[in-house]
Amino acid sequence: MLEDLNPQEFQDNLTKDGNTLIDVREKWELDICKIEGAVNMPMSSIMETFSELDPESSYSIYCHHGMRSMQVANFLLSNGFQSLFNLRGGIDAWSREIDDLVERY
């Protein structure tokens, strides 16, 4: 299952036990801003790093505007992952709707 969530739904989902937050942006983007608690797994290296993840676990994924994270989520879905959540609008929408202390770029 892959769900595309708005920022409020995404935030509510983060409180669920066993849900890992993954930031698929590049390191230089992470240096600008991030959602606290996120694990960085850049999209550019996801084919090499996704095997570190448990397909039985739940993952909330985000990027800058929600497109890269959706691509990563679809890739994971095609590799047997069952519980995936994408942040629609990415960290940019998160900054506008949830936490205005998260810098926009």
Q: What is the CATH number of the domain that holds 9?
A: 3.40.250.10
- From first to last of the 105 residues of the chain, give the pLDDT tens digit: 999 999 999 999 998 878 999 999 999 999 999 999 999 999 999 999 999 999 999 999 999 999 999 999 999 999 999 999 999 999 999 999 999 999 999
Q: 63 in a domain, yes or no? A: yes
**Pairing, β 58-62 against β 19-23:** parallel
Q: What is the C-alpha separation between 32 and 20, in angstroms, rounded?
A: 21
**Domain with 53 in it:** 2-97
Q: 105 in a domain, yes or no? A: no
The total of structural domains in the chain comes to: 1
Q: What is the pLDDT of residue 53?
A: 96
Q: What is the pLDDT of residue 27?
A: 94
Catalytic choice (35, 61, 63, 93):
63
Q: What is the pLDDT of residue 17?
A: 79
Please say if 63 is a catalytic residue: yes
Q: 25 in a domain, yes or no? A: yes
